[in-house]
Structure 1
Amino acid sequence: MAAVPEDFHHPYTPYDIQLQFMQALYACLEDAKVGVFESPTGDENEPDWIIEFAKRESTRAITDKKNELEARLAKTRLEEERLKTTSENAARPRKKQKFDPVAGEPKPNAQSDSQFVLDEYNSDAEELSMPTRRVESDRLSASTLALLERFQGQVSTHDIDRNAEDEEIKIFYCSRTHSQLSQFASELRRVTIPSSIPSELNTGDKTKGSELEERVKHLSLGSRKALCINPKVSALENSTAINERCLDLQQHGVAAEQKCPYLPSKENEALSLQFRDHTLATVKDIEDLGMVGKRIGICPYYASRSVIKHSEIVTLPYPLLLQKSAREALNLSVKNHVVIIDEAHNLMDAISNIHSVSVTLSQLQTSLFQLTTYARKLKTRLKGKNRSYVAQVIRLVSSIADHLQSVLKGNTALEGSVRASDLMAGKGVDQINPYKLTRFLQESKLARKVDGYIDFSQQQDKTNSRAKTTTPVLFHVQSFLLSLMNPSAEGRLFYLKVQDDIQLNYMLLDPTNHFREIVEEARAVILAGGTMSPMSDYVNHLFSYVPSARLGTFSYGHVIPPENLMVMSLPKGIDGLEFDFTYDARDSEKMVMDLGKTVATVCDVIPDGIVAFFPSYDYLSRVLSTWKNRPINPKGDSILGLIQQRKTVLWESRDTTGRSEELLQEYSNTVNSGSGALLLSVIGGKLSEGINFSDRLGRGILVVGLPFPNIRSAVWQAKIKHIEEKTYQQSSGPEASKQSIAKAAGRDFYENACMRAVNQSIGRAIRHRNDYAAIVLIDKRYNKPDIQGKLPAWIRQSLVSSPTQTPVRTIVNGLPKFFAGHAKGSTRNDH
């Protein structure tokens, strides 16, 4: 067990539970473990373990190198502070570049379609016996990877760079969005960590107290969409179009004046070094990095790659870390480094979503029309191999479309599973070599050529010109074809009928193997989140192969004292009806009316703002309809009117998802005006995650029912079956025992998906030490020990037992007393 330091250089005095969190995290990293951390405090701090490796390096050569780099960074920081950017720009005269309207091609004659002809392609030299790289949904081709490798070789750097070994341990800090990563960067600026350069080797002037300060070297990595500074490319807005345009501008054969002028090269090596120094001089987020690139005149997307090896902390969004092809493109290795996944409660779903892809019948039909038009018009100019492969793509797309058409017209369920063999049963499809066709799709730029040709043709006709704001349809189709021909063992195919169309989904059911390489290569892997409970999925599924000695789960309490939270379950309503919001029973009109009366009663005793979460938009809509239209007395008063006598009622719907900020602002204004408000929301909706209902905005959280996924759906049937089969294979003992264990594992996985969503919604209310709130769980199933056991520990410790036979009136008697005890601080907002 690692010795844990006493000082973590926290910018403020940490709470005891924060200190415990940091101590456990430090030990986990030092002992090279995999840890799952739940800490609702929202504290994000890096301990000083990151400097220990450097402290152990005592050779003067390494220290001199550090001193030289730190001196450069110190100088650069001063330059930034003095804003001496004008002279830098003046020293770099740049010729104006001309950009052609068609990416990557010589400027065409307005009447010519020659630029859309596929380059000659020959696959005879392929080594089919060699393993094929798993194709991910971002469509990074072998040629793209080769191009990036050439780029890496082109950009030489200072002697420091060439001699530097990528030995020092780095932290790769990953979260869902750039805004979350920017927040982390902002917090990192608060941290001051002592230098790892031994004092006797520091080259600063110690007599004047000017020893070199060693700052935390941080780098933000992002996508082209986030970092592109070429206005002709970034203006395309769509990520796929930006990626393709960028790559096309770099292809061989493109005239020098048409290439992107911002790409790093040997000729602008000095700019690459300058970009590196500015990047590391101070902690910068992704927007800062883009501004540095613009100011210096070099592409921050590519220039940032040579900065990785000089960085100590690298922040990046999920896709750049979780996709192997993306890591390869970045030349990013996690071997012997630390990986921290923040907001990790949705990690398993995120991995599955990244490696899943969908396509609709209408998209297939559109792409089929485009492909056949392209092949017919240019057939005399397509070489033999190209003509053959284009014909294969047409046959394959036609086969898939025909099968979907038969499913759409057939008397089948609205959703179901699909066999790959049925999709590929068309005439001649069995003659297709999937490996060769995969390589052709990746390297030929067929999708871009076809899309360009169709657009060119429409412009020539000057009719039905297509807007270029969406991803070209053939890219959707190509993504699906690549997954279909390179399926994961854990992948399954499903269809879903949507009005007059049908959607075909390739879904990854199990993310384990896609995350395994990261876990096995990294020194340590940390999953962290405010709400990670229930944690059994991580232990039993995501990390099932990790030895128990290397795996740990850690759950920490909240910074609030237990008396600041009151949690209760309501198994019955005002009228004494049992609350059973299971799928088959939840439409009982009597129960919905009793729910309304109960909510009105709760609104009487909880002050300020209350947020109520429902299982789905459809169910919330049905409840609202009943509350509005069913009278509760001869005068015709409604339940909704009864509630509105207590608080203003606002609600979320599918139609309001685009204006969530407006709804939140209206809710906030209403609460702060003193009249109080009830916000009806949906678990898994826009307001159930990432939104803080602190202080008066969330004095009460109501959870109506349990948001179990539809177990009758083909997707969930397949997920549970996969879990059961996997558990059965890993179990030992008698047959009956193995089957029982497998069934229990499937049931546990299903319950966990539900309770993880509930816990995310509950966590919206308590946001700082002086906050307080009441949480009311409305369903008889919340009284079950196995359901309560899946609540976070800090929630369970404040759970008030509620006898199943006690009317709700006696239960809510405790709420006025609870809020009376906190009334004096009701408007305090002490973070």
Structure 2
Amino acid sequence: MEPSNHKFHHPYEPYDIQLEFMQKLYQCIEQKHVGIFESPTGTGKSLSLICAALTWLRDDERRSLFGEVKEGGLDWLEQAELKAQQQQLLETRKELEDKLQSIRDKNVRKQGHEYPIKKVKTDDQIQEHDLVLDDYESDRERNSKSKDEASLSSATLALLEKLQPAKSTSDEDQDQSRTRIIFCSRTHSQLTQFVNELRKVRLSSGVSDTGEQEVIKHISLGSRKNLCINPKVYRLTSTTAMNERCLELQKPGISQDQKCAFLPSKVSSEDKERVEAFKDNMIAQIQDIEDIAMLGKKMKLCPYYASRSAIAATEVITLPYPLLLQRNAREALGVEITDNVIIIDEAHNLTSAIADTLSVSMPLSHLELAQKQLLGYCQKFKNKLKGKNRVYIAQIIKLLKSCISQLQQAGNGKTVEASLLASQLIAGTGTDQIQPHKLVNYIQLSKLIFKIEGYAELLDQQAQSRLPASTNCARKQLQPKGVLAEFQSLLVALMNPASEGRFFINRGEQELILKYTLLDPQAHFEEIVKEARAVILAGGTMSPMGDWSEQLFSYVEPQRLETYSFGHIIDKANVLVRPLSQGPSGVDFDFTFANRRSETMILELASVVEKLCFHVPDGMVVFFPSYDYLALITSLWKRQTGNESAFTRISTFKQIFQENKEVNVDDLLREYSNSVISGRGALMFAVVGGKLSEGINFADKLGRVVICVGLPYPNIQSAEWKAKVEYIERMRYAKSKSEGMPEADCKIRAQAARREYADNTTMRAVNQSIGRAIRHKNDYAAIYLVDKRYATPRIQAKLPAWLKESVRSGSSLWKVVEEDCARFFEGKQN
């Protein structure tokens, strides 16, 4: 199928690289492929994604409706049936369009929304009788499947299938036949930017071949945290507690005055009318998550549940990708991925996002508090705890004691980090007979977390009420919340195969932390790839590309996986990329771990920064490998040498600003920008992987030069890093072995995979940092990569394509580099 519009309905005149991007994306979806698309920030990536995907969607809808006549044609009966179906669909669509247009007209005339609103009365106080556990029946334990189990990998689910066959449950009846675009990004703020771009696009109807336009049907989905409007629920800080409290208010048999007043009834005709009005108002115009939450508040109707009514009528669904990555979250939202198109923007750190979503960490103090809360609850309700409730709570307390003991023992040692197996965590007295999957099931079905946290909340309220009224002291949280939800996540992690992840004990800044780290992200992404029609990963800095096939798509047939790195829309003359191997005095820049503390080299770096400040107008940003190294360098630069320090000499050219872990980024950027705008100039010291290395715009005068000092390789002595690279080495070795390679070659390839992963991880972070400067077509900047390793083909090959084109290797003599810099900025100042 070819696109119906050669410009893909782009609202502006697209550049050549945008057209190429859209053509490749269209074909990738049409061919049901997995595509990795790299397009630099400032090239209109979001609009290109929207226009290509939606043009394909409308084209596909027309193809499905009008069909392709088979050889020999259709007989009269088939033609009549097809025509009848077409006519019925057209009439249905026209009725919907007319209704939605009426709503849009009312909004334009500012007549306000006209929909039925029900008055509700809510009591947001927790009552003690709400906190008693219901009797827990063992048959429910055997035949029900925990939602937490739905987030487990296929290997874990296969194991559980042997241990405890799960009873299948029917999904809610929904029309899922329509193909949809599911668009994901990291945060709701990024999705809001996408929604703003979506509003610019006008498309031909998918049910008409006349070119008539049809408004895009879109919905933003979120969690209860984003959409809940019931104070009984949204004031809870733990997501798990919010979920359980919400479900508690819907239980059959609960009195009407205790139920959620915002939840629509399935049998009330009045509530059905309200839901229908909510759906129509939601899709009549393209709205973001805040608009939908506000609509729910105005209508006194739960937007979390009511928004599902619109899914069947939508073409585009937006949601943060943590909600896509977990099957239980998708099912809770009613999102179906089968045969739909998945587009993940800002996907450069998708593998780490998957790992973060399914990794868990819990400080020792939280484990101790969880134990304290359980014991306190048992003491309060001991006469009402019977049967399975008593058994399972006792098991949870034993597990908590075992974990606490492991951390305390580790605290007596001198090691900063320790790795341990899941079996070691449950090695305490009486814990070896505990089955974690049954405990997870029990916690889910019994609503234990809501009950325990509700009791803790009640105690907190009582303690606050006893504070003297005359003190006027601010109410504050007396203890952390959500600790039992953290422990529940640890229990889920205990069920994962040892090959997928590992437990660690880390010595944090203040206390010991128990952490589960996922090592194999692809096991939890494979289901999405196999069920979706097409999967698109897009980002400004997806390079290096090698990791994607190895770490996320090793199961995808090579012919189905496509990678693209598109150029920039700026003139090549507006970008200068220069590897810098030596300084003005001829000192080599070798920031490897063994040499990075060399004072001679650090002072040589100061000389480079000082001389560049002389030639470069406006703002400069220098990225360092870590906060600790930045602190070391600035301390040496501030040391007096002769009449003044290197730091003082640099500050005569530009005002210096410095990122640190505690700094308020907004305030720091405001001061930096003011210094640039005032004409004083500014120099920002930042950290690769820090707060300023991602999502921050150093466009135009704010970033005329970006300097990257050294290569920010991870700490190779870290237990987590060792576990990750050992896993990668093991996987590559097994793959080579399965291909029949000799033993020696298998080992060589495994070691090469280890180095490749380290290089790729490092350069992806570098690429993300240096991409902060060039943000639009007329921007210009110079990029200096200060380390002799940047001059090697191995490292330069991992730069994005558009930056590789601008690399000037040439002579390493400082005189040549300085003249290059001066020529670059001549005539470019505004």
TM-score, normalising length: structure 1 = 0.89
Q: Which residue of 2 is the match for residue 159 of structure 1?
A: none
Aligned match for 2:272, one of 269, 272, 275: 269
Does structure 1 residue 632 correspond to structure 2 residue 641?
Answer: yes
How much has 1:232 moved relative to structure 2?
Answer: 4.6
Q: Which shifted more, 10-19 or 429-438?
A: 429-438
Q: Which residue of 2 is the match for residue 382 of structure 1?
A: 385
Q: Which shifted more, 499-508 or 386-395?
A: 499-508
Contact 2:584 2:608 in 1 (8 A): yes
Cα distance in 1, alignment partners of residues 104 and 480 from structure 2: 41
Deviations 1:396-447 (A, max 9, x none): 1101111111011123x10121111111111110121223222111112222
Q: Which residue of 2 is the match for residue 808 of structure 1?
A: 814
Q: Which shifted more, 742-751 or 79-88?
A: 79-88
Does structure 1 residue 168 correspond to structure 2 residue 201?
Answer: no
Distance 1:42 1:623, change over 3 A: farther
Q: Which shifted more, 49-58 or 643-652?
A: 49-58
Q: Which amino acid letter does the alignment assign opposite residue 529 of structure 1?
A: G
Cα distance in 1, alignment partners of residues 212 and 810 from structure 2: 62
Q: Which residue of 2 is the match for residue 51 of structure 1?
A: 58
Q: Which residue of 2 is the match for residue 64 of structure 1?
A: 91
Q: Which amino acid letter does the alignment assign opposite residue 778 of structure 1?
A: V
Contact 2:106 2:113 in 1 (8 A): no
Q: Which residue of 2 is the match for residue 791 of structure 1?
A: 799
Residues 566-645 of structure 1: pairs in structure 2 closer than 5 A: 566-628=576-638, 630-633=639-642, 635=643, 637-645=644-652
Q: Which residue of 2 is the match for residue 158 of structure 1?
A: none
Q: Which residue of 2 is the match for residue 391 of structure 1?
A: 394
Identical-pair percentage: 47
Q: Which residue of 2 is the match for residue 141 of structure 1?
A: none
How much has 1:294 moved relative to structure 2?
Answer: 2.2
Cα distance in 1, alignment partners of residues 317 and 631 from structure 2: 44
Distance 1:391 1:238, change over 3 A: closer
SS of the residue aligned with 2:450? helix
Residues 144-543 of structure 1: pairs in structure 2 closer than 5 A: 152=172, 165-198=175-208, 213-236=213-236, 239-266=239-266, 267=268, 268-411=271-414, 413-457=415-459, 467=477, 470-487=480-497, 489-499=499-509, 501-543=511-553
Cα distance in 2, alignment partners of residues 587 and 282 from structure 1: 58
Q: Which residue of 2 is the match for residue 722 of structure 1?
A: 727
How much has 1:3 moved relative to structure 2?
Answer: 6.2
Q: Which residue of 2 is the match for residue 11 of structure 1?
A: 11
How much has 1:653 moved relative to structure 2?
Answer: 0.9
Distance 1:332 1:468, change over 3 A: farther
Cα distance in 1, alignment partners of residues 458 and 452 from structure 2: 10
Residues 97-176 of structure 1: pairs in structure 2 closer than 5 A: 97-102=121-126, 108=127, 113-124=128-139, 126-127=141-142, 134=149, 136=151, 152=172, 165-176=175-186
Q: Which amino acid letter does the alignment assign opposite residue 120 of structure 1?
A: D
Q: Which amino acid letter does the alignment assign opposite residue 24 of structure 1?
A: K
Cα distance in 2, alignment partners of residues 513 and 577 from structure 1: 47
How much has 1:500 moved relative to structure 2?
Answer: 5.1
Cα distance in 2, alignment partners of residues 285 and 688 from structure 1: 27
Cα distance in 2, alignment partners of residues 372 and 485 from structure 1: 25
TM-score, normalising length: structure 2 = 0.89
Cα distance in 1, alignment partners of residues 439 and 660 from structure 2: 44
Cα distance in 1, alignment partners of residues 721 and 828 from structure 2: 44
Q: Which shifted more, 778-787 or 583-592?
A: 583-592
Q: Which residue of 2 is the match for residue 711 of structure 1?
A: 716
Distance 1:579 1:9, change over 3 A: same
Distance 1:237 1:218, change over 3 A: same
SS of the residue aligned with 2:662? helix
Q: Which amino acid letter does the alignment assign opposite residue 819 of structure 1?
A: F
Q: Which amino acid letter does the alignment assign opposite residue 650 of structure 2?
A: I
Contact 2:233 2:242 in 1 (8 A): yes
Cα distance in 2, alignment partners of residues 181 and 77 from structure 1: 23
Cα distance in 2, alignment partners of residues 35 and 809 from structure 1: 44
Q: Which amino acid letter does the alignment assign opposite residue 198 of structure 1?
A: S
Distance 1:217 1:100, change over 3 A: closer
Deviations 1:214-265 (A, max 9, x none): 2111111112222222345334465445434323322233321222222122
Runs (5+) with no aligned partner, structure 2: 67-85, 153-165, 468-474
Q: Which residue of 2 is the match for residue 204 of structure 1?
A: none
Aligned match for 1:817, one of 814, 820, 823: 823
Does structure 1 residue 685 correspond to structure 2 residue 695?
Answer: no
Q: Would you say how many aligned residue pairs link Structure 1 and Structure 2?
A: 776
Q: Which shifted more, 704-713 or 459-468?
A: 459-468
Q: Which residue of 1 is the match for residue 785 of structure 2?
A: 777
How much has 1:394 moved relative to structure 2?
Answer: 0.8
Cα distance in 1, alignment partners of residues 238 and 431 from structure 2: 33
SS of the residue aligned with 1:430? coil
Deviations 1:712-744 (A, max 9, x none): 101110111111111111113101111111111
How much has 1:569 moved relative to structure 2?
Answer: 1.0
Cα distance in 1, alignment partners of residues 819 and 442 from structure 2: 71
Q: Which residue of 2 is the match for residue 82 of structure 1?
A: 109
How much has 1:380 moved relative to structure 2?
Answer: 2.5
SS of the residue aligned with 1:799? coil
Q: Which amino acid letter does the alignment assign opposite residue 379 of structure 2?
A: R
Contact 1:53 1:168 in 2 (8 A): no
Distance 1:115 1:307, change over 3 A: closer
Does structure 1 residue 745 correspond to structure 2 residue 753?
Answer: yes
SS of the residue aligned with 2:372? helix
Deviations 1:740-785 (A, max 9, x none): 1111111111111100000001111111111110000111110111
How much has 1:466 moved relative to structure 2?
Answer: 7.2
How much has 1:535 moved relative to structure 2?
Answer: 0.6
Deviations 1:115-143 (A, max 9, x none): 43321112256448999973549xxxxxx
Contact 1:592 1:623 in 2 (8 A): yes
SS of the residue aligned with 2:641? coil
Deviations 1:117-171 (A, max 9, x none): 321112256448999973549xxxxxxxx9xx99957xxxxxxxx8xx4322210
SS of the residue aligned with 1:262? coil
Contact 1:171 1:312 in 2 (8 A): yes
Q: Which residue of 1 is the match for residue 24 of structure 2?
A: 24
4+ aligned runs moved over 6 Å, structure 1: 128-133, 461-466
Cα distance in 1, alignment partners of residues 198 and 636 from structure 2: 50
Cα distance in 1, alignment partners of residues 480 and 283 from structure 2: 36
Contact 1:570 1:802 in 2 (8 A): no
Contact 2:107 2:113 in 1 (8 A): no
Q: Which amino acid letter does the alignment assign opposite residue 735 of structure 2?
A: Q
Distance 1:661 1:534, change over 3 A: same
Cα distance in 2, alignment partners of residues 788 and 87 from structure 1: 60
How much has 1:460 moved relative to structure 2?
Answer: 5.4
Deviations 1:532-571 (A, max 9, x none): 1001111222111111111100010000111110110111
Distance 1:120 1:324, change over 3 A: same
Q: Which amino acid letter does the alignment assign opposite residue 64 of structure 1?
A: E
SS of the residue aligned with 1:610? strand
Q: Which shifted more, 811-820 or 441-450?
A: 441-450
Cα distance in 2, alignment partners of residues 796 and 453 from structure 1: 60
Distance 1:456 1:43, change over 3 A: closer
Aligned match for 1:757, one of 756, 760, 765: 765
Contact 2:220 2:287 in 1 (8 A): yes
Q: Which residue of 1 is the match for residue 661 of structure 2?
A: 654
Q: Which shifted more, 456-465 or 642-651?
A: 456-465
SS of the residue aligned with 2:620? strand
Cα distance in 1, alignment partners of residues 248 and 170 from structure 2: 15
Contact 1:236 1:469 in 2 (8 A): no
SS of the residue aligned with 1:65? helix
Q: Which residue of 2 is the match for residue 698 of structure 1?
A: 703
SS of the residue aligned with 1:661? helix
Q: Which amino acid letter does the alignment assign opposite residue 475 of structure 1?
A: A
